[in-house]
Structure 1
Amino acid sequence: MTTEPAARRTGANPPNVVRARSGPAHYAALLTPRALSAAGLPLQRDVGLRVTQAIAVARAARRPGRSRMRGLIARPGGRLAWQSIPAPELTGPEAAVVRPLAVATCDLDRAMMLGRTPFPLPLHLGHECVAEVTEVGEAVTSVRVGDRVVVPFQISCGRCPACRTGYTGSCRTVPPTAMYGFGLGGGLWGGALGDLLAVPYADAMLVPLPPGVDPASAAGVGDNICDAYRQIAPHLPRLLAADPATEVLIVGRLDDHNPLTSSTPLYAAQIARALGARNVSVVDGRAAVRKRATLLDIQPLEPRRHRSWPTASLTVDSTGTPQGLRRVLAHTAPDGTCTCVWSLHRRAGIPLAASYVRNVTLHIGRSHVRTVMPEVLDLMATGRIQPELVTTLTTTFDRAPRALAEHCHDDAIKTVLTN
């Protein structure tokens, strides 16, 4: 199995290739205060359960006669390769095993592949997928073998108080941040870039793919598309009811050389349009993202001209930086709402007094993907959003190492791998 450097140059002089961290640099970065702070978040509760799970995974992997499969592993230095790993099995009567049909890159995946996140490498990649059910436990009633389903990246039981309230990303049955494709940081649940994937709570987690919806188009529903939806849908209808000309400002990466990609801002813009917004702008430092926004009939704006950004009643901070959040808050209108997509920084220096005087509502938190998946899939099934228009490359699992190396080029936005 060959190894493919994720920062491989794809042309004579490609612009803005983000460099991979070497092994020593990656592990040294894991010891910085920011990384150590982020590493402690999954250990806020249920530490014993997380340790028990890790021991069980290690023992199962060593069991004689355990069947094996291929899984795509990312290692320090930007090395990507298929590797023979233990195949997942049914974990109980409520579980299922699925075969990934289409797997999409998340906006965080490039940074993870390059060793530029607090998630330790090596890890088994992939957490956005559409799959085919291959095996179900005896208690599973909602799906059958052969069904095509969308798999949320977060693990949730569907019956604890958090899940029953719709807060599936905060499921109390599993440890915090339990999710696919994040290695130790996600709890060793495996990755979607493999021949098979185990789903511990099939009835709670799996959502049937609507007829006529292409698996490759829906691959990102398991994370980024739903993340975009929760930034827009809970707030926009109320604002449009008060003012049909409501401005929506979505701010992606502020520089042109960033390891994070920007599919989520483009999905959010599509969703805002689908829900009736006429005035939608996307800011991003990369020309390729602004060009894609233009093709989607979305107003593209450049970061360096921030004084010309509109002051909007609904703003989305997808910058991933404290400086970016402060700038987006400054462009949030009085009585407006700002949603912060993500950040693992320890502090941000938020302008509290200005936000108080302007009555700005700031929402910071992770998405509850499983809860909104049916609404997102309905938008797709009715043709109101077309996520495939954001995809920059679709190719096969067999080409995954090379395709993901190309994805580490700054012109990439969304890569989908089909099996």
Structure 2
Amino acid sequence: MQAYRASLLRFDAAGQPIFDEDGLLLVGPDAAGRQRVQDAGAFASVSARHPDAVVTHWPGRIIAPGFVDMHIHFPQTDIIGAPSEGLLPWLENYTFPAESRFAEPAHAAEVAEVFFDELLRNGVTTSLTFATSHPASVQAFFEAAQHRSLRMITGKVLQDRHSPDGVRDETEQSLIDTESLIRRWHGVDRLGYAITPRFAPTSTDAQLRGAGELATKYPDTWIHSHVAENKDEVKWARELFPGARSYLDVYQGFGLMRERAVYAHCIHFDDDDRRLMRATGTAAAVSPTSNLFLGSGFFDFEGADRIGCAYGLASDVGGGTSFSPFSTMLAAYYVGREGQTKPGVSIAPSQLWWRHTGAAARALGLEGVIGNLQPGCEADFLVLDPKATPMLARKTARAESLEELLFAMIVLGDDRLVERTVISQASGT
């Protein structure tokens, strides 16, 4: 057993914050040797239940759950901030040329190391991640994640049309490669596989149908794609799939909507789309820095909450402009203002935090595993220093409530706020 004393942030089943100014987190191995939260709460109560625990004290610090990034592209690490007039030109001019290099195993391995360094430096302990159409990119990602004992999800991108040489794949081989990678990596240690059509316009009917068949054959895998990000993209999808009610309905027609299916963006939706998301257990990955950067539009938080469809926050690097969850949460606050119909705070700071931790875990089908610090959760957590910078120290010292404290860290925080990132490891690793 290991015990850590500091202020402690976690969430209840309704997503409401629980904050102990003087808290204690008790971590120990489960039957398989994986480190999990054994107890958590106020120091006086938890320490009384475990009088023999050796306590590591971090005064002035906050222990919080590791962040969960619901949508990010590891091969786009080096194209953050590439200027473009919009999504489709950005893909053509920057994304596809960069991704074509991931056929080279050495390049994929080198970028994977940089990618994980950045995630952990910024406090992200799990991500649902795009690789490229090259199996080498998936191999490199999983090998690096396994070496670091991380809980990570990725998959080979499927794109057999409307894509340039270097990233376009071949229909039958792409599905063979996908199944081979599922069998090799899915469920190994803390790794999970996502069946990953890039987006409907870059896959033929045959490829989408094959992806849906694999999703049925392997129901505990994830499905990961994009939908309704950009108006030009929506128009293109309508032209390519005239029989579908909407862009989202294309995926439903191919059996690609179910629990553990996650679609990035979901901006240009109507209520029927939201009801379809809710009915199928499909979740949205909301990527506000990317949407603002590429001028794609604004996610309708109120619409999602009104209908009751699941969603969580995502950086969408490299369309997104930062690996930092604090940047993502602040951008979500701005976007929430855009669609706000009632006066007051657009999205409560604690709810922004929840959407990047426990709610994201729930949307991924991993509630009770990651994204929280309740007993039973894997022990992925952060040690935050609310005095990491002069302005943070000044502002957090004046916080009169938990919401003010969390918002100060959202607005002023960056990687300097994350003093350390602790990863749950199996005994002997």
**What TM-score, normalized to structure 2?**
0.26
TM-score (norm: length of structure 1):
0.26
Structure number with higher helix proportion:
2
